[in-house]
Amino acid sequence: MILPITTHRPGDETAAIEIPPKVKQHLGLDPARASWIILDEANLDVWPSPDMRPIPGRPGLYEYGLLPQRLTNTIRQAISSAINERRLAMIDRAGIENK
């Protein structure tokens, strides 16, 4: 399961959490632009996905780093709530559920 990250401010109806500046710096994300993790949409895909971009200057590497435990726990709780409330949109990008 891959959660989308966007630099476009999510609408009020979208569950999302802004990535703190220190975490963005740790991950090597653009510090000049706000970034959000979408919490009510998840992608089922192969790793690495054809839609993913490798780390700049490091061909073949897609892992930017680990999230702090507190942020990870917040994300897990939000995803769990979205699943329990049946509002998590699961997008099967690679036909995984049909295999």
pTM score: 0.80
Residue 97: what pLDDT?
A: 62
Residues lower than pLDDT 50 in the chain: none
Q: 99: number of CA atoms within 13 Å, CB side?
A: 8
Intra-chain end-to-end CA distance of the chain, in Å = 16
55, 39, 54: which is closest to 4 by C-alpha?
A: 39
pLDDT tens digits, residue range 15-34?
999 999 999 998 888 889 99
